Structure 1
Amino acid sequence: MNFLLKRTINVLWSVIFVVLMQGCLEPFEVTFEDFESALVVEATITNELVQQQVFLSRTYEFEEEGPTPESNASVRVQGGGSSYTFVESSPGVYVSQQAFAAQANTAYQLQIQTQDGRTYSSEETILPAQTQIDEVRAERITTDLGEDGIGIFVDSFDPTRTSENYRYTYEETYRVVAPFWTPRGLEVVPAAEATVPCEVRAIFDDSSLETGYASDSSNTIIQTSTKDLEEDRVSNFMVRFISRNNYIISHRYSILIKQFVQSNAAFTFYETLNEFSGNESFFSETQPGFLEGNISSDLSSSEKVLGYFDVASVTEQRIFFNYEDFYPADDVRAFAIPCQVSAPVLSRGVPPVCVLSNLVKNDLVRFVDNNGGNGDNEGPFFTVPTLCGDLTGFADPNPPDFWTEE
């Protein structure tokens, strides 16, 4: 699901709450009896020749777990004498039936009809000029708070000064290595074969996954503007900071940066949305009111619609780097979870309660080594939490098509 939809949904219940309260916040009740469900729209079409996407959902109340996808809607984009129909690929996610790219000097409009017959339209929007990314680079930095890590920086320049408003997203992919992987495992000895209660034995088992690949996408609004600068130049703008203690850079890491050139109206909308979602926005003395987008109901001017239809030009650039490019190769590297080695006992108490075998049955531990010492409060094997020795279900065993080494 698109990053902005997630971000928007997380704050939209608060937007509706502000609209309803119309004043300063008092200590609030958890349940809002006058809650008004509003359509949430997130749609950005670009100059990329792809199947474009539109996300529809409904705002949700504070006590609810999350947004409700808006299903069974009719969605289309009109522009340049063409009509592009979108079909629902998963709940609330609508994908254009054909790939298309937004064209310069062409006005586009989003049109929606929900399953209850209500119709909505966006204002007509024109594609801004495109600006290439000059460079994406990674640098080791120390933040103002003293945290060591890697900053991902972007440079771009528009000599025509027709861009000015930039929004960024990223997709990061990284290689993960299980720090305690071995080609051995543990199994519970059948009762008929056991020589001691709750017996467990080590076996050959190379079915576990040692090395895999995982990906994440940005989930925040990242923007900058050059309006107040002497030239339309984005210089040394940090899109991403990754702490040295974040396991995603412990081996090899790649990031794809996308740069969107936006209209003034789109930039202002996302900037305001970002302010709305701040920690103190809704608990300050000055309430921001309803966030107006460029989508409205065709039937009722009083109906609230949340979201924005954006037409943006986009360019992208990918980089790779290894942990050793910035840090000593023999460092102890971070992992996704703590990997504390322990030696669970076979059993405890009278009658005996099986300890290690229950951990093995529930796939909670992986074999590390034999425990030669086997003290009073230790079992015969050293173990770690399963993820520390097996990435199955956590990472993909196959690298993505774009992946390169060194």
Structure 2
Amino acid sequence: MSKKRFIAYYKLAPLFMAMLFYACIEPFQATFVDFESALVIEATITNELKTQQVVLTRSYEFDAEGPPGEQGARVMVVGGGNTYNFIEEANGVYLSDQEFAAQDGVEYKLQVVTSDGNSYGSDNMQLTATTSFDELSAERITTDLGEDGMAILVDSFDPTGNSVYYRYEFEETYRIIAPTWSPVSLIGDPENIFSCNVFKVPNETDERVCYATALSNTIILNSTNELDEDRVSNFMVRFISRNNYIISHRYSILVRQYVMSNESYTFFETLNELSGSESLFSENQPGFLQGNVFSEDNEEERVLGYFDVATVSEKRIFFNFDDFFPGEDLPPYVDPCNTSAPVLFNPGGCVLRPIIESGTGIYVSDNEPPGPNEGPYFITARVCGDCKVLGPPEIPEFWTE
């Protein structure tokens, strides 16, 4: 059985992605420009009573390390006679100074004033239709390419037919068990920093069981526009290969379903088309993807991004590897965990102690008797014996067994 999905890479920040394609719903107007630094606005205000978020960055060239955050801006969302101020929490991330939820029938507008005094705004946006998805499920499938793995599937239905356009995000959390964790660890001679000797001590620093969390980094879109009814059935928001270590033990995923407007769906669908173009990987681009944000001072200035107001619903599920792969070998760990037995020293100086103290190697077991050119202990990569490399040891508050 196979499922099809529609996924676009989520890359609003790079201006090298900002070029024109005509979407199937409504077209965008193009201009032709060279690369330049432009403000990038990413904001979705929802009907949840929570601290809302606006992210401001700058576009960057392909060979740059990443999008620089826009710091020191004044950010506000205005709607229903209220003004909600946002405070910079981190580099380019702004959080509302109070919890609020978008209300039906109210128009909301984003306002931004950057540290250099330039003003930016958005079109007025209203909350979309409210649709909670009915079911979130996990199913073992084989893809069209013959890959075995787990599909995360969504079902929802809007009897009014007013939702139509959907976007999904997910947050996955999984248990990690370090395969070579030992209750013993090695330390350098604490009484002689120049000695090459190491000693075994009780392991009080390395963790065997941890929990890692990862966020979706793609745009996942779905539309029922061409169907007889507004029903989402077995839509795959995530596929996890059977050989992915994240499902080796216990896995959880939280899926959020956003109901989008026609305009916001068109924007992100066009962004999806852009992400598949080979010509994106160059500094000079032939066009610009226009969203609903703009400069209030200079109509010629290019601003990238979208301010959205959307209803959202969410569900979480858990499953264990044995639930779907009973009696089968676990997926390969993130590291092969090969072992070695370095000597304590050689004519060039200490060998094992610097490896241990730098954290690049970790004790596995004794090597008895050592072979030629071997030391007394087997070691391996730290990630194999200390799961903190991949995630914290604290059990998440939502976790259930």
Establish whether TM, by shorter chain, passes 0.5: yes
Structure 1 residue 353, shift from structure 2 partner: 3.3
For residues 212-241 of structure 1, give each alpha carbon's deviation from its aligned partner in whole angstroms, at most 9, with x where no partner exists: 111010010100000000110111111001
**Contact 2:171/2:215 (CA < 8 Å) preserved in 1?**
yes
CA 1:261 to 1:6, structure 2 compared with 1: closer, same or farther past 3 Å? closer
Match of residue 7 from structure 1 = 11
* Residue pairs, 1:139-218, within 5 angstroms: 139-189=139-189, 198-218=196-216
Distance, in Å, in 2 between the alignment partners of 1:144 and 1:308 is 34
The structure, 1 or 2, with the larger RCO (C-alpha pairs under 8 Å, 6+ apart) is: 2
Structure 1 residue 73, shift from structure 2 partner: 1.3
Structure 1 residue 12, shift from structure 2 partner: 2.0
* One of 268, 280, 292 as aligned partner of 1:294: 292
CA 1:316 to 1:51, structure 2 compared with 1: closer, same or farther past 3 Å? same
**Contact 1:182/1:206 (CA < 8 Å) preserved in 2?**
no
* Aligned CA-pair RMSD: 2.6
CA 1:16 to 1:268, structure 2 compared with 1: closer, same or farther past 3 Å? closer
Match of residue 130 from structure 2 = 130
**Contact 2:15/2:38 (CA < 8 Å) preserved in 1?**
no
Distance, in Å, in 2 between the alignment partners of 1:252 and 1:48 is 29
Distance, in Å, in 2 between the alignment partners of 1:219 and 1:200 is 43
Structure 1 residue 384, shift from structure 2 partner: 1.4
Counterpart code for 1:399 = I
Structure 1 residue 395, shift from structure 2 partner: 1.7
* One of 391, 395, 401 as aligned partner of 1:395: 391
Match of residue 44 from structure 2 = 44
Q: Please state if 1:316 is matched with 2:319.
A: no
Structure 1 residue 190, shift from structure 2 partner: 6.2
Bigger Cα displacement from structure 2, 228-237 vs 390-399: 390-399
* One of 243, 246, 249 as aligned partner of 2:247: 249
CA 1:5 to 1:72, structure 2 compared with 1: closer, same or farther past 3 Å? farther
Match of residue 121 from structure 2 = 121
Match of residue 303 from structure 1 = 301
- Aligned-residue sequence identity (percent) comes to 53
Distance, in Å, in 1 between the alignment partners of 2:119 and 2:330 is 58
Instruction: With the length of structure 1 as denominator, give the TM-score of the two structures.
Output: 0.88
Distance, in Å, in 1 between the alignment partners of 2:280 and 2:354 is 48
CA 1:167 to 1:14, structure 2 compared with 1: closer, same or farther past 3 Å? closer
Distance, in Å, in 1 between the alignment partners of 2:262 and 2:330 is 47
Match of residue 259 from structure 2 = 261
**Contact 2:19/2:286 (CA < 8 Å) preserved in 1?**
no
Distance, in Å, in 2 between the alignment partners of 1:323 and 1:127 is 39
- Shift >6 Å, 4+ stretches: 16-21, 190-194
Match of residue 104 from structure 1 = 104
Match of residue 352 from structure 2 = 356
**Contact 1:109/1:121 (CA < 8 Å) preserved in 2?**
yes
Structure 1 residue 110, shift from structure 2 partner: 0.8
Structure 1 residue 387, shift from structure 2 partner: 1.4
Structure 1 residue 5, shift from structure 2 partner: 11
**Contact 2:15/2:36 (CA < 8 Å) preserved in 1?**
no
* Residue pairs, 1:231-246, within 5 angstroms: 231-246=229-244
**Contact 1:53/1:95 (CA < 8 Å) preserved in 2?**
yes
Distance, in Å, in 2 between the alignment partners of 1:180 and 1:263 is 50
Structure 1 residue 372, shift from structure 2 partner: 1.7
Bigger Cα displacement from structure 2, 218-227 vs 381-390: 381-390
Aligned residues: 385
Distance, in Å, in 2 between the alignment partners of 1:355 and 1:247 is 32
CA 1:365 to 1:213, structure 2 compared with 1: closer, same or farther past 3 Å? same
Structure 1 residue 360, shift from structure 2 partner: 1.3
CA 1:260 to 1:388, structure 2 compared with 1: closer, same or farther past 3 Å? same
Structure 1 residue 16, shift from structure 2 partner: 7.3
Structure 1 residue 283, shift from structure 2 partner: 7.1
Structure 1 residue 365, shift from structure 2 partner: 1.6
Q: Secondary structure of the residue that 1:116 maps to in structure 2? A: coil
Instruction: With the length of structure 2 as denominator, give the TM-score of the two structures.
Output: 0.89
Q: Which runs of 5+ in 2 are unaligned?
A: 1-7, 22-28
